[in-house]
Structure 1
Amino acid sequence: MESAYFKNWITGWHWGVRIALFFIMVSGLVQLGLFVLTQSYMVAYLGAQPEDIQFGVMSTYAGIITVLPLQFRFFKYFQTRSYLLASMMMAIVLNIACLYCQDINLFLIIRFAQGIITANVIVFGLLLVFTRLPSERAKTVAPAVFYGTLLSNAVLIGLLAGVVVESADWKVTYYYLVLFQLLLLVIILLMLKEKSVTRHYPLYQVDWAGVVIFACAALSLAYTTIYGSKYYWFADVRIRRGAIATVIGVVLFLYRQYMLKRPVIHLSIFKSRNFVAAVCLLAIYYGCKDSINLVYNYAGGVLKWSALQVMTLALWNIVGMVGVLVVVIRLMLVKKVTIKGLLIAGFALLGAFNCWMSFLLTPDLAFTDLLLPVFLQGVASGFLFVPIMIYVLSSTPAYAGMSGMLVAACTRFTATANSFAGFYNLQLYFNQYFKEGFLGYLTTDNQNMATRLTNYRELYASKGFTVEQASVLANAAVWQNLTQQSQLLTNRALFIGFAILSLVVALLMLVIPAIGKIWLHLNKQRMAMVLGDRILNMAGMIKTLTISEKR
């Protein structure tokens, strides 16, 4: 069968098309994975603060969700090949600009532009995946391909980039990325037809003002949440202005959506309880899923693993996720499992992972100690990610179009921003709490403290340090141990919190339907009793009237 988008020589070669589309989507998503891996080098190169790098990540997300609604209109207006070629060339230009940029403010602008280009590439790639699937499978398989690629790209790219970083300068990773994108230019030229759109849908009534308002609101929200802790929140005028800009932007955007004839997001979808429940589950999943970053930070910060070793550990997480994802999709296609059962199993496994990690953390662990829990977290993600997204999309009314997907993307953006701010503030609070608890025992009256200081002084003295230097180094070593133990206890507290949240969600999903059935049964019994009483009353009235007539 002839395709409207792919050339005849590759149309029948299904695996060739699949691999090419996978590479096209990866070329867009790699902008995120590569940047996250090299962020420590970017801090040193640009003289930036960690908050600046986090805001750089969120700027990319803001660019993605800003132009995401427009892509579905562009797909019906622009020629697919020309659009992808232009986007890929712009991506190359922006990567080269990132490579040589030395101003942090300009760098953040480039990151936002990269988000726009990333949305161009991945949405067109995803829509091309839709064209290759039967309509009954598209809603199940396409999200699995997209979100599976989204979750795994950081690790897969990180493994390759980790090898490069270990043996060469970090800038070399950008050279390889540009070469990869040049290769994709050739693939796009060879694979796609020059003209794919036979009927152009005009770009009238595009809400460009709404796009600008949304972009300002998203960037203001990211700025407020990420820099809030650094500037003591509303005590600083910059955070107050950012919060005010966020509120005004959100209100204006929602007002425009309410007034427009063809809104980007149909606000009526929030009247559906199933849709609201699905979005809440998605937000909870994103928050609990990010606890895996505590494991990676622990491996790199406490255990002093290299980036390549951390990515190797993360690979097992991806193996668990992809393996279960393939099985889950097949079972869903043949209707052997329900979304509810998958969600209960997924949240239960996510709670088990967090419980396991809360008891496992010590200052010295081997790779094999972390292998199984990290693999288990991947299995939980395989049970949760795509089923939740299918739940979101299936709960969206047909007239709302892509509103469900857009709300899900906004949920991801907000959850990520809250994750950056939440993890920072929670770790700040628990670190301070545990340090203050330890300080009560760090006195000369404490025998363990005195013994530990003596041992450290003797150790440093045996290495040739003077008595004064040995004493200073001993105190520093004790303080380092205190900081390490406080961080481990902080991570444990966070894992326990996420475990409780995940298990409570799984329990509620298991119990609430049963409670609903019992409540419905009791209501039916009550209605039956009320109806019976009324029938008896009517029978009594009829009997009374009959007796009266006879008299």
Structure 2
Amino acid sequence: MNAPTYIKPWLSNWSWGVRIALFLILLSSIMEFASISLSQNYVLSYLGAQPEDITFSVQLCYVGILTILPVQFRFLRYFEMRNYLLILTFLSIILNIACINVSSVMAFFFIRFFQGMVVGSISGSMLILIPSFLKMEHRAAFGSTIFYGTVLSSGVLLGLVASAVTLNSDFRNVYYYLILFQILVLIVILISFNQVSNLRKYPLYQIDWTGAVFFLAVAAGLAYTILYGSKYYWFTDTRIQLSTVVTVAGAILFLWRERIVKRPGLDLTIFRFKNFWVGLILLAVYYGSKESINIIFGYTVSVLQWSATQEMILGLCNITGLIIFMVISARILVYRKDAIFYFLFAGFSMSLLYHLWMYCIFTPDLAFEDLILPMFFQGATSGILFVPIMLFTLSAVPQTTGYTGLIFAACTRFTSLLNASAGFYNIQLYYSQLYKENFLHHITGIDENVTERLNGFRQVFLSKGFSPDQAAAAANASLARIVSLQTQLLTNRAVFLFIAILTACVLLVILLVYVIKTLRLLTP
């Protein structure tokens, strides 16, 4: 039987038309994933959510993606692509309408989980289709570049655009725009895809639904434990105890299930390959260190009070560096697959330089111009590292394992983002308390600098008509704000230094491995 013909004849011969159609469909799913950025202020204010709830809702979307992916690849071998995408896009519209009308945090969690399942289904379909329209020698490098480049860049861009929109209008307007875009995507699917393809259907039997449920329990339990652990004082709280039990029990049952079923959802034999472990570790370091960019965005918004326009420009600088160097990396690796080591060395060296750079320039009077070049440089670092790491990781396992390597790479993204969110929070909490105590130790009534600063503040407020008591209270508040600002500044610098040290360790290991490998080749 011939290969499936998903695209209609009038479009299949127009390569750019196919690319635009597939890109629009992929973008619709990414916009669904990034929709939390469109409504986080609403969730925090209207639903009474806490910052941990926002992060947990993001992670639940990842949980939905990871849960559906193993099953999704089975669906693609049974359902017609056009009907499948139409149903998924329609469900996506319904979920967006639900986000507009939701009135409880718990209901919002469920919506985010189901949005993740829809996003995983549409994105998984595009992950199959996009490489099929590339040359055979370009599929491994450029397929992942197009797909993940869109995912990594669009999330930042859409989040920044959404922030600008929500500042100037009701948040519901953003969802209305998103729904209109998805209606456009429905039309694109209708006119671009064949109703019937030459798909050889594989029956939907022996799907490991039980394993998927166990996997869901592990991912959701792990996310809850790590994100809410600090808030509830870890194992002193019954909620954290219960989530930990669910996580551990779910992991044991999942591993047991995958060993006994005839058609497991994930082929765990991939963990027999040493290079696959190495690739996952490199991916974890890459994803975790990349999240430090959120510290910059948070600092410029909450402390420096920069406008949404400035944030968008910084985001565009970062995306520009990411796309340019990701394409360059992919193009070189098409012809020089043995150059992966050089990309790893260059990329982690640049990551080390970037974090040391930010450690040095992070100051209370940080100017907009100070960050343009570092943000571009950080994007270039991500672009140089991502494609080589993915190629190294996925090429470490045989093709007989199917999409298991890809799914575990996505799991690494999930756990890295989870650890980065919780890890940065706990590191910042520790250093914030440490620096604040050090400051307070020096702030005494006999400290000349403190007395001079307080008197200066007091005189300023007295000159503006405040009473002596009001001026004293305002002076103390001003000093407290300065202490808080300096504490946050030093804490952020400590995080960048911590990541720089971690990156330096990874770089050292890469060099040692390369030297040992070279010496073995030279030894007769």
Is the pair's TM-score, using the shorter chain for normalization, greater than 0.5?
yes
Report the counterpart of residue 443 of structure 1 in structure 2: 444
Post-superposition CA distance 1:421-478 (Å, at most 9, x none): 1111111000000011111110111111011101111111122211111111111111
Post-superposition CA distance 1:141-195 (Å, at most 9, x none): 1111111011111232234324422321122111100000000000000000001
Mapped contact 1:81–1:189 kept (Cα < 8 A): yes
The 1-side partners of 2:38 and 2:473 are apart by 36
Report the counterpart of residue 543 of structure 1 in structure 2: none
Equivalences for residues 44-443 of structure 1 within 5 A: 44-335=45-336, 338-443=339-444
Helix, strand or coil: the match of 1:356? helix
The 2-side partners of 1:68 and 1:484 are apart by 44
The 2-side partners of 1:403 and 1:506 are apart by 28
Shift of 1:340: 1.0
2:74 maps to a residue whose letter is R
Post-superposition CA distance 1:64-102 (Å, at most 9, x none): 000011111111100000000000000000000001101
2:467 maps to a residue whose letter is T
Mapped contact 1:78–1:197 kept (Cα < 8 A): no
Identity %: 46
1:74 maps to a residue whose letter is F
1:367 maps to a residue whose letter is F
Cα pair distance change 1:163/1:221, threshold 3 Å: same
Mapped contact 1:286–1:416 kept (Cα < 8 A): yes
The 2-side partners of 1:438 and 1:306 are apart by 31
Helix, strand or coil: the match of 1:142? helix
| Aligned length, in residue pairs | 523
Helix, strand or coil: the match of 2:226? helix
The 1-side partners of 2:278 and 2:366 are apart by 39
Post-superposition CA distance 1:490-539 (Å, at most 9, x none): 111110111111122122212222134436767x6xxxxxxxxxxxxxxx
Cα pair distance change 1:336/1:78, threshold 3 Å: closer
The 2-side partners of 1:329 and 1:147 are apart by 12
Structure 1 consecutive aligned stretches of length 4 or more whose deviation exceeds 4 Å: 519-522
Shift of 1:311: 2.6
The 2-side partners of 1:182 and 1:427 are apart by 43
Shift of 1:38: 3.4
Cα pair distance change 1:520/1:319, threshold 3 Å: closer
1:62 maps to a residue whose letter is V
Helix, strand or coil: the match of 1:395? coil
Gaps of 5+ in 2: none
Mapped contact 2:340–2:392 kept (Cα < 8 A): yes
Report the counterpart of residue 528 of structure 1 in structure 2: none
Mapped contact 2:4–2:199 kept (Cα < 8 A): no
Report the counterpart of residue 471 of structure 2 in structure 1: 470
The 2-side partners of 1:515 and 1:223 are apart by 42
The 2-side partners of 1:228 and 1:132 are apart by 46
Cα pair distance change 1:125/1:517, threshold 3 Å: closer
Mapped contact 2:38–2:166 kept (Cα < 8 A): no
The 2-side partners of 1:260 and 1:123 are apart by 24
Shift of 1:288: 0.9
The 2-side partners of 1:293 and 1:246 are apart by 28
Cα pair distance change 1:104/1:197, threshold 3 Å: farther
Which deviates further from its counterpart, 188-197 or 298-307?
Answer: 298-307
Shift of 1:12: 1.1
Mapped contact 2:284–2:416 kept (Cα < 8 A): yes
1:114 maps to a residue whose letter is Q
Mapped contact 1:226–1:421 kept (Cα < 8 A): yes
2:43 maps to a residue whose letter is M
1:156 maps to a residue whose letter is L
The 1-side partners of 2:160 and 2:488 are apart by 27
C-alpha RMSD of the superposition: 1.6
Helix, strand or coil: the match of 1:464? coil
Helix, strand or coil: the match of 1:338? helix
Mapped contact 2:38–2:171 kept (Cα < 8 A): no
Helix, strand or coil: the match of 1:202? coil
Mapped contact 2:149–2:323 kept (Cα < 8 A): yes
1:185 maps to a residue whose letter is L
Cα pair distance change 1:36/1:166, threshold 3 Å: closer
1:141 maps to a residue whose letter is F
The 1-side partners of 2:302 and 2:521 are apart by 53
Helix, strand or coil: the match of 2:444? coil
Mapped contact 2:34–2:155 kept (Cα < 8 A): yes
Which deviates further from its counterpart, 512-521 or 413-422?
Answer: 512-521
Cα pair distance change 1:331/1:516, threshold 3 Å: closer
Mapped contact 1:354–1:495 kept (Cα < 8 A): yes
Post-superposition CA distance 1:25-55 (Å, at most 9, x none): 1111112323125312320121111111111
The 1-side partners of 2:245 and 2:337 are apart by 49
Post-superposition CA distance 1:333-375 (Å, at most 9, x none): 1227611111111111011110000011111122110111111
Shift of 1:261: 2.5
The 2-side partners of 1:350 and 1:36 are apart by 26
Post-superposition CA distance 1:224-254 (Å, at most 9, x none): 1111110000010100110111011011111
1:58 maps to a residue whose letter is Q
TM-score, normalization by structure 1: 0.92
The 2-side partners of 1:48 and 1:140 are apart by 41
Helix, strand or coil: the match of 2:232? coil
The 1-side partners of 2:255 and 2:4 are apart by 39
Which deviates further from its counterpart, 179-188 or 457-466?
Answer: 457-466
Shift of 1:3: 7.0
Helix, strand or coil: the match of 2:34? helix
Report the counterpart of residue 454 of structure 1 in structure 2: 455
The 1-side partners of 2:198 and 2:363 are apart by 59
The 2-side partners of 1:396 and 1:104 are apart by 41
Equivalences for residues 36-47 of structure 1 within 5 A: 36-47=37-48
Mapped contact 1:7–1:193 kept (Cα < 8 A): yes
Shift of 1:206: 0.4
1:273 maps to a residue whose letter is K
Gaps of 5+ in 1: 525-551
The 2-side partners of 1:108 and 1:357 are apart by 35
Shift of 1:136: 2.5
The 2-side partners of 1:109 and 1:309 are apart by 34
1:31 maps to a residue whose letter is E
